[in-house]
Structure 1
Amino acid sequence: MKKYCLAAALSLACLAPAAQADTLLGLYLGGEAWGAEPEGSFANKGNQQDFDFVDKNFSSFYAALEHPVPLVPNVKLKYTELKLEGSAVLNETFDFGDKSFTVGGTVNTVGDLNHMDYILYYELFDNDLVSFDFGLNAKHFDGDISVTGFANGESTTETVDFSGFIPLGYLRGEVGLPLTGLSVFAEGSLLAIDDSKIQDFQIGVAWEFIDNMAVDVAVRAGYRSMVVELDDVDDITTDLDASGPFAGVQVHF
């Protein structure tokens, strides 16, 4: 985790000189439904175990505040639901928590990977045709993974808690199509340090069907992909991928 803290400090130091403030105070509120197809593996001790995860619909909500104060970054908070459920038939012993689950048995798992993104960003461009943001995202996981199956001749459930902040670089761009209310956008956060990698990005199309002095309202749809490869973070190692289409609404005051 010391390397993560160092990466966060260096990122902030690089961002400060390039700061540009927005000219108007703005509040963005949004919500999305995400149809994800999770796949991958995880471990607590020993080898990682692959699981067949159930496809699920998840929710995501965000709020962003943009202001005209020079050198002070804008702020965005984003909550993402990511609760994975799956099962596997063991072809080798699977050590998790304080138990060794039996070869040939079926194990079920529930993984709470719900998390919050704390994003500080600056606007390099901000107009009706082109906008571009860059900054730092501190992604906070505070969850647990449970495994249920047979160990030592009896059914048992083992749960391992994990928590931590992981700093990521953040980029967002949007290009508008004049006189249509349509725009295309891409947004993503990325970290790659040693054997750990977090990748969370969205690409899509937005249509602003209400645009006046009081409020702007847009519908958004596209594709979201999240890769969570953790290398012994709070005793948890993962190689997980959740990807699929999303749709939502954004309101701008």
Structure 2
Amino acid sequence: MKKTAITLGIITLCASFSSQADTLLGLYAGAQGWNMEADGGFSEDGNNQTFDFDQKAKSNIYAAFEHPIPLIPNLKVQKTDMDTQGETTLNSNYTFGGKLFTANSDATADVMLSSTDIILYYEFFDNDLISFDFGINAKYLEGELLVTDKDDPSLTGFEKFSGPVPMLYSKLQFGLPFTGFGVFAEGSFLSIDDHSLTDYQAAITYSLMENLALDVTFQLGYRAVSLELEDLDNIYSDLEFKGAFAGIEVHF
């Protein structure tokens, strides 16, 4: 009888410790498929040319690590692909990459753009009903822009740019008890000098699996990224990328 009681006590203690460790320490990994539309344009002198961009299926992947150590922030790293192509009929002369494209000519644009977010944040609330995170995001933008005359493919202007942009970060999440459903809104924001950047998403979530070893959550939501750049590596833009997404997040 005593051996049985001791054994049960050990099992209970181990289960309690595992549950507490899972609450205090967490590794998250997620992937999203984004049905992205792009609007706007870009230039090298502030006279932005607008293009009619294609709709694209793009990807977003991320990983986050959370811990209970005071004063040391949690870490999230995220990589988003925003490549797209477009075309337009120029209504005035347009210079890009040192090349002159004349009015009324047809031009295509290839935008090869990605962003890498390195986010340091603190959790001010963290339970099954509500969680709130706040911190900073060092968003690193890297892009290559190519403009080509459709009638004369040898006439091509090319520019590339890259650089970090510091942003504020926050995330608010609510759980609906006993349903498996939840909602969250997450975003990074900046308005400094002549740059104005926003990156936000909102989603409904549903728990597909939840146990001590592994949690799996399905996400269905909407994301929008706005890049109003003023002379970032000699590039000006008023681009917006937006659309619905679906994703899976795994919590170890």
TM-score by length of 2: 0.88
- 1:45 is displaced (CA, Å) by 2.5
Pair 1:177-2:205 in alignment: no
- 1:194 is displaced (CA, Å) by 2.7
- Provide the C-alpha distance between the structure 2 equivalents of 1:37 and 1:197, rounded to a whole number of angstroms: 19
Which residue pairs with 2:47 in the alignment?
Answer: 47
Q: 1:23 to 1:46 in 2, by over 3 A?
A: closer
- Provide the C-alpha distance between the structure 2 equivalents of 1:107 and 1:150, rounded to a whole number of angstroms: 5
Which residue pairs with 1:10 in the alignment?
Answer: none
- Provide the C-alpha distance between the structure 2 equivalents of 1:125 and 1:150, rounded to a whole number of angstroms: 55
- Provide the C-alpha distance between the structure 1 equivalents of 2:84 and 2:193, rounded to a whole number of angstroms: 25
Question: How does 1:74-153 map onto structure 2 within 5 Å?
Answer: 74-149=74-149
Query: Over the residues paired in the alignment, what is the CA RMSD in angstroms?
Result: 1.5
Greater C-alpha Rg? 2
Q: Structure 1 stretches (4+) deviating beyond 6 angstroms?
A: none
Alignment partner of 1:113: what SS? Answer: strand
Which residue pairs with 1:59 in the alignment?
Answer: 59
Pair 1:204-2:199 in alignment: no
- 1:150 is displaced (CA, Å) by 6.9
Report the AA paired with residue 83 of structure 2.
Answer: K
Q: Deviations over 1:14-37 (max 9, x none)?
A: xxxxxxxx9611000000011111
- 1:111 is displaced (CA, Å) by 1.0
TM-score by length of 1: 0.88
Q: Deviations over 1:5-64 (max 9, x none)?
A: xxxxxxxxxxxxxxxxx9611000000011111110110125110100001111000000
Q: Which runs of 5+ in 1 are unaligned?
A: 1-21
Which residue pairs with 1:159 in the alignment?
Answer: 158
Report the AA paired with residue 110 of structure 2.
Answer: V
Aligned-pair identity (%): 47
Which residue pairs with 2:25 in the alignment?
Answer: 25
Question: How does 1:204-243 map onto structure 2 within 5 Å?
Answer: 204-243=203-242
Q: Deviations over 1:45-96 (max 9, x none)?
A: 2511010000111100000000111100000000001002101111111010
Q: Deviations over 1:122-178 (max 9, x none)?
A: 000000000000000011012211111179x87322210101000110000100000
- Provide the C-alpha distance between the structure 2 equivalents of 1:154 and 1:36, rounded to a whole number of angstroms: 27
Report the AA paired with residue 172 of structure 1.
Answer: K
- 1:201 is displaced (CA, Å) by 0.4
Which residue pairs with 1:36 in the alignment?
Answer: 36
Pair 1:68-2:42 in alignment: no
Report the AA paired with residue 97 of structure 2.
Answer: G
Report the AA paired with residue 79 of structure 1.
Answer: K
Q: Which runs of 5+ in 2 are unaligned?
A: 1-21
Alignment partner of 2:92: what SS? Answer: coil
- Provide the C-alpha distance between the structure 2 equivalents of 1:127 and 1:204, rounded to a whole number of angstroms: 18
Q: Deviations over 1:174-219 (max 9, x none)?
A: 0000011110100000001132111000011100121100000000
Q: How many residues align?
A: 231
Alignment partner of 1:230: what SS? Answer: strand
